[in-house]
Structure 1
Amino acid sequence: KGKHQAGKFFGPYPSAYNARDTLVTLEKLFNVRQCENSYFAQRKRPCLQYQIKRCSAPCVGLISPEDYQEDVKNSIRFLQGDTKALNQELIAKMETAAEALEFEKAVFYRDRMGLLRDVQAQQAIYKVKGEADILAIAYHAGVTCVQIMHIRNGKMLGGKSYFPDMQGDDLGQMLSDFMANFYFQVADEVPTELIINTALPNTSELEQALQQQFSKKVQIKHKVRETRAEWLELANMNVQHAIKGQLANHFELNERFHQLEQVLGRPVDRIECFDISHTMGEATIASCVVFDSGGARKRDYRQFAIEDITGGDDYAAMRQALTRRYKKAMLPDLLLIDGGKGQLHMAMQVMQDLGLEAFMVGVSKGEGRKPGLETLHFTDGTKIQLPEDHKALHLIQQVRDEAHRFAITKHRAKRDKRRGGSVLEVIPGLGPKRRRDLLTHFGGIQGVLKASEKEMMLVPGLGAVMARTIYKILHE
């Protein structure tokens, strides 16, 4: 949206795997380069991509600019779905090469044709003129699901399930509300056809609004035949499968809440949990996540950048976060504090200073920080340890782990932005030589981030203590 580089963009793709698969196919078919401009400008001899026949090496002039431009144009045509004309051109080139007794070139074109046929075979089942979105809605036991499948240039580009927070018996009205929200607030574009599994109460009005918004004619259909009917049937199957999975999660979550209420002896509908994340006191972030009987309430999540405290003082960080949160916000039925008696007593003091009465439980990790060994601490000084298979414990673990994930994601982004350079540069005791050895051993920073502690120990001259320090700073 206004931030793209100049050039053509193709997509969306249903997953990163599909996008990478398309790139590999392009390399095999047309030998177009995938390297950065800086890498391209520095080449003095062909790289490995040329050796394995994935690039025609324009960097060193092994292909003329005119021929390479032709490969680029064919790549664009391929991405636009124009595979029939490409196939005819390859046949002509193969026959011309064979007549000139250039059999190696003829074999090259023959192999390209085979690869193109494989691609066409995968796409054939979805081939139809035009573009469309297929939308199927289903409602059961308080859960609404909308499945959207995207068809572009005759190809199925995958889909996604949405679970909007709406209930009722009028599926047409619910789908109409969802479509208005999705296409006017979320989607970047709309296809010429929207195929739906139920009639809308305001089809013509919605069509006119979409036409005005996107400056193109849009048709909404719920009675379709042939290929479109097959798409709609597939979307209906997907939405039913998705809602069954969501209901299974829904019933499991209700049972977890029910068992937690039995353990606590009081009704619980809303849970909030706080967690603190930092790296050796740097870039401290406090997170607050919210759960209710419907699951994670992400719109109610909050994060607090903690400032003006001593680095690494988790008590002061938690005090600041609780104060900022509950000066204005309503108290939940259960406030989970990630920590033992000390953190719980501190939270109790904060609530007392604010003049609030909250039902709080501290969750301390067990021996060796193993899941299932957590201890619950109550404000009256009592504590319990639930069985490892207890559903109430599973709910507490789920909420606490989400708070940790939410905090650490924001913390790492803030930390790396503040450092403005390699995350290795601020690790105590890791000098330039060992940083270089580490990066060389794993082939770059991404390899270091993926490496385990044991793998780091194998770096010459690093040692177990330094490997443990590096791993802890990068991953905790």
Structure 2
Amino acid sequence: MAAFDAEPFLAGLTTRPGVYRMLGDAGTVLYVGKARNLKARVTAYFRASGLTAKTMALVAKVRDIQVTVTSSETEALLLEQSLIKTERPPYNVVLRDDKSYPYIHLTEHPYPRLAFHRGARKEGRYFGPFPSAAAVRDSLNILQKLFGIRPCEDGFFKNRSRPCLQHQIDRCTAPCVGLVDRERYAEDVRLAVMFLEGKSQDVLAEFKAKMEAAAESLEFERAARYRDQIAHLRRVQENQYVHGAGGDVDIFGIAPDYEGAQGVSSSEASAGGGAGAQVCIQGLFVRDGRLLGHRTWFPKNELAMSGGEMLFAFLSQYYLGTGNREIPKSVIASASMAESDLLANALS
């Protein structure tokens, strides 16, 4: 294709908000962006000076620009993220399409099981989504230690004639061979559900009451079992505690790849920028005052954006461009974002 003639195109460009798509050879989408003022934003790519080397490399590849006018900048942001998800342009921040998030699944069964689940939902109750598979497995490990809920498949459950290793290491009460009655098991499931709902303080209070009742009845072995559960639950609370009053918040921090960001100044490094650098973005996820888990991403900073610009692009894609993402009450970012109000409006 012939080189892009920017002057006549810019002369007729509207000043309204919208989305622009930069196309390369054979119509390949190189970059998708949004603007409050399309004319001003697109014109900035063709100024004589002040562009980074990466941006100039992008502009040199442009053979055509297509624009879509929208009624507001918020609508432009939503359309931009939809197009990024569909087109996956090389110069945009593009996240892997997480079509299926991990959950904890409580099955419908006389003796329900708690299990890792990803994909289409079946019967039962689901808790999540969790930020990663590791966060689900950590939670399942805690639940087994605290409540002894079985992890085995129903087919395995039906064909047991003696307790398995999970019972031997005190991670299952062995309902498969009748070592726990249905009423007692249902009580353990109820407490496990309370824990998953963020009500660990209520679970702790019930454990204490049960321990005291067992001691008064001279059931010292049972009281000791509750004592051990209380101690373990307190350790879990210490590791996961964020704020006793509860609350849902996602927290994101950004840092550059210092080895890859040659020539990055100290101010750029602290902001998370650097020409062509790969950056690290860390997310922490808190639900009901409890740290649910964390996750790390390593997107490339193809256009040498600042830390705030990179976080804005990342969070826009994370919440708006990757399906039915759970949106918390608050999102905290480590770098200031000039368009934070725009993103807040799009998420509300």
Q: TM-score band (shorter)?
A: 0.5 to 0.7
Amino acid at match of 2:240: Q
| Counterpart in the other structure of 2:200 | 83
Q: Are residues 1:208 and 2:342 paired?
A: no
Q: Are residues 1:161 and 2:278 paired?
A: no
**Structure 2 CA distance, aligned partners of 1:169 and 1:54?**
49
| Deviations, residues 34-93 of structure 1 (Å, cap 9, x unaligned) | 111001112233333333332222223332222211111211222233211111111111
Change (3 A) 1:25 1:173: closer
TM-score normalised to structure 1 length: 0.40
Asked if structure 2 preserves the Cα contact closer than 8 Å seen for 1:135 and 1:196, the reply is yes
| Counterpart in the other structure of 2:318 | 182
Asked if structure 1 preserves the Cα contact closer than 8 Å seen for 2:253 and 2:334, the reply is yes
SS in 2 for 1:139: coil
Amino acid at match of 2:344: E
Offset of residue 125 of structure 1: 5.1
**Structure 2 CA distance, aligned partners of 1:178 and 1:13?**
16
**Structure 2 CA distance, aligned partners of 1:172 and 1:36?**
47
Change (3 A) 1:185 1:32: same
Offset of residue 30 of structure 1: 1.0
| Counterpart in the other structure of 1:152 | 286
Q: Are residues 1:139 and 2:273 paired?
A: yes
**Structure 1 CA distance, aligned partners of 2:172 and 2:182?**
14
Offset of residue 166 of structure 1: 3.3
Change (3 A) 1:38 1:139: same
**Structure 2 CA distance, aligned partners of 1:13 and 1:103?**
40
**Structure 2 CA distance, aligned partners of 1:178 and 1:125?**
25
Change (3 A) 1:142 1:13: closer
**Structure 1 CA distance, aligned partners of 2:169 and 2:315?**
47
| Deviations, residues 290-333 of structure 1 (Å, cap 9, x unaligned) | xxxxxxxxxxxxxxxxxxxxxxxxxxxxxxxxxxxxxxxxxxxx
| Counterpart in the other structure of 1:8 | 126
| Counterpart in the other structure of 1:97 | 214
**Structure 1 CA distance, aligned partners of 2:152 and 2:253?**
41
TM-score normalised to structure 2 length: 0.54
**Structure exhibiting the larger radius of gyration computed from Cα positions:** 1
**Structure 1 CA distance, aligned partners of 2:156 and 2:145?**
20
| Counterpart in the other structure of 2:154 | 37
**Structure 2 CA distance, aligned partners of 1:148 and 1:127?**
23
Change (3 A) 1:141 1:191: same
Q: Considering only aligned residues, what root-mean-square deviation do their CA atoms show, in Å? A: 2.5
Higher helix share: 1
Asked if structure 2 preserves the Cα contact closer than 8 Å seen for 1:164 and 1:178, the reply is no
Structure of greater relative contact order (alpha carbons < 8 Å, 6+ residues apart): 2
Unaligned runs of 5+ in 2: 1-99, 101-118, 255-271
Change (3 A) 1:196 1:49: closer
Unaligned runs of 5+ in 1: 212-476
2:170 equivalent among 31, 34, 53: 53
Amino acid at match of 2:296: K
Instruction: Give 1:345-364 correspondences, 5 Å limit.
Output: none
Instruction: Give 1:178-327 correspondences, 5 Å limit.
Output: 178-186=314-322, 188-211=325-348
Instruction: Give 1:412-427 correspondences, 5 Å limit.
Output: none
Offset of residue 11 of structure 1: 4.5
How many residues get paired? 210
**Structure 2 CA distance, aligned partners of 1:186 and 1:171?**
21
| Counterpart in the other structure of 1:355 | none
Offset of residue 194 of structure 1: 1.3
Matched-pair identity in %: 37
